[in-house]
Chain A
Amino acid sequence: MSYVIQGETGDWELVIGLEVHAQITSKSKLFSGSATDFGAEPNTQVSLVDAAMPGMLPVINEHCIEQAVRTGLGLKAKINLTSVFARKNYFYADLPQGYQISQYEYPVVGEGEVILDMPDGSTRTVGIERLHMEQDAGKSLHDQHPSKSFIDLNRSGVALMEIVSKPDMRSPEEAAAYVTKLRSILRYLGTCDGNMAEGSMRCDVNVSVRKAGEPYRTRAEIKNVNSIRFVSQAIDYEARRQIDVYEEGGEVVQETRLFDAAKGETRSMRSKEHAHDYRYFPDPDLLPLNLTQDYVEAIKAGLPELPDEKKARFIGDYQLSPYDAGLLVAEQATADFFETVAKGRDPKLACNWVMGDFAAAMNRLGRTIEDPPVSAANLGGLIDLIADNTISGRIAKEVFELMVETGKAPADIVAEKGLKQVTDTGAIESSIDAVLAANADKVAEYRGGKDKLFGFFVGQVMKATAGKANPAMLNDILKKKLS
């Protein structure tokens, strides 16, 4: 069923397209040799090129070209062997050149696609319109002084990829899934770290609404949304706002809006006297960028296994559900961790532990998959102990918590604490006999038809054996004794 918002005049459909600015992972800037590290002291990573001093000339960073091409290939997109850098002219205090070097008519990457993994396990394809390289601007701080803005040019000239989707998304959920998947692909490729909090990935969201079957109506562009959750929130708010405008007899104007995360609303940016007129033209300081097919093929040959392929392999090799496989492959490190745990073991059990108790402990302790609360080898060892009946699944949870606490290997913990499962029929029988003898009245009630008491007996025996009785054996023997 497609997503609609009910208005007073009927159902409204959403049309969403995204422009994602992704910072290219590189040591130095797109056209200068200054550093790109996040959080440096202001203006310490600025060359005279980035500061746009007269006479300075841009020289392109070859690694950034490779990263852009790699990203294009990861998006199954057409690579344009000739692309052209253009100047996008506008004035702003944090843009010292007075123009941004970007690509306009001839971007380095053309049409591609991203496959969305929806929470219900289904997939949807969203088209990519283009990807081009461009420079980032500096950073303005407006809250440091009553009448001045503070400018830091450290970001000025940092390489960005602008990745433009087709207007193929129809719900806030799809837009969130798109950003999530794009981020995952970029991280697999190593072309962008996807850190939205540090601004390595920013989204401009284009939203319009329409009645079913209509052509596109006027869209609004929401600038610089910096988290996946805010993308959904901004779309939901903006769509409802546009519906209200139409239903009150008004018209939506094409404009740029800001998302105010604190208030959860979008606001019109003060409308300019003159509409933007960027007067793009080819940058005379830069020759066209020519690539060879061999160059592209060499990069293609070095691509890693990407999330979609990995997901398909996990479903095929490990018999995981599309949902589980999708979650495991979202981060490459998680997928690697899972594969280490699953190697030579029951993959479904490995998946349950990685996504269950392990993920919960990781979140609770604020750890990461790179710095896990329990190593993959130890988690695998724990699963081995369950598989060979040394411990029950219930005791395993206890052992797991001790592993988190102490960092010890599961076998050592089981030995130290004497947690080895009791699988000796005689020992279980005698525990059962003792419990039944001590609760003769309840035995009579059970035999009188009160079936629910079975659980009580199991509990008592478990208590008597400190939880170590093999649950399956306990059930069997108890059933026989009570019948």
Chain B
Amino acid sequence: MSLDKDTVRKIANLARLEVRDDELNHLAGELSNILQFVEQLAEVNTDGVAPMTSVAHMELPRRADEVTDGGYPDKVLANAPERNDGFFLVPKVVE
């Protein structure tokens, strides 16, 4: 499978990455190479083999329903470029 410029532009947009037009061809080539590399796996017959979801031989760890965290708004907001009254401030987003 190979990717064209438009697909790369769309993927970049979905990932909120700014990519210049003159970079698109190069990136399309690189991404296509990655896909082709992974596609080699398709040569292996996996009929009747259950998908391996993890290499960890363990069950999903669970925790009890107790309040053990939170209560430190200053820490949460410490990296906020802008804050006011305990809120994060971001450029206005209205749908």
Which residues of A pack against B, CB within 8 Å?
26-28, 32-35, 41-51, 59-65, 84, 89, 91-93, 140-142, 144-153, 269-270, 274, 277, 279, 282, 286-290
Chain B's closest residue to A82 (CB) is B53
Which residues of B pack against A, CB within 8 Å?
10, 13-14, 16, 53-54, 56, 58-71, 73, 75-77, 82, 84-95
Which B residues are CB-close (under 8 A) to A144? 87
Asked whether, in the complex, the Cβ of B59 is within 8 Å of the Cβ of A290, the reply is yes
Asked whether, in the complex, the Cβ of A270 is within 8 Å of the Cβ of B67, the reply is no
CA distance A330 to B43 in the complex (A): 58
CA distance A270 to B69 in the complex (A): 38
Which of B63, B77, B87 is in CB contact (< 8 Å) with A59? B63
Max chain B C-beta neighbours (<10 A), residue from A26, A62, A65:
A62
CA distance A147 to B73 in the complex (A): 23
Asked whether, in the complex, the Cβ of B90 is within 8 Å of the Cβ of A33, the reply is no
Asked whether, in the complex, the Cβ of B86 is within 8 Å of the Cβ of A41, the reply is yes
Q: List 28 A-B contacts (CB under 8 A).
A: A33-B63, A33-B69, A33-B70, A35-B71, A42-B73, A42-B86, A43-B88, A44-B70, A46-B76, A48-B76, A50-B70, A60-B62, A61-B63, A62-B65, A65-B62, A91-B16, A145-B84, A148-B84, A148-B89, A149-B90, A151-B88, A151-B90, A152-B86, A269-B95, A277-B10, A279-B14, A287-B56, A290-B60
CA distance A219 to B68 in the complex (A): 44
Given contact pairs A61-B64, A277-B14, a sample of 15 additional A-B residue pairs in the complex whose CB atoms are under 8 Å apart: A28-B66, A34-B69, A34-B70, A35-B71, A41-B73, A47-B70, A48-B69, A51-B76, A59-B63, A153-B76, A274-B10, A282-B53, A287-B53, A287-B56, A290-B59
Asked whether, in the complex, the Cβ of B76 is within 8 Å of the Cβ of A288, the reply is no
Which A residues are CB-close (under 8 A) to B58? 287
Min CB distance, B88 to chain A, in Å? 4
Given contacts A28-B67, A42-B86, A45-B71, contact A270 B77 (CB under 8 A): no
Which A residues are CB-close (under 8 A) to B13? 274
Chain A's closest residue to B71 (CB) is A44
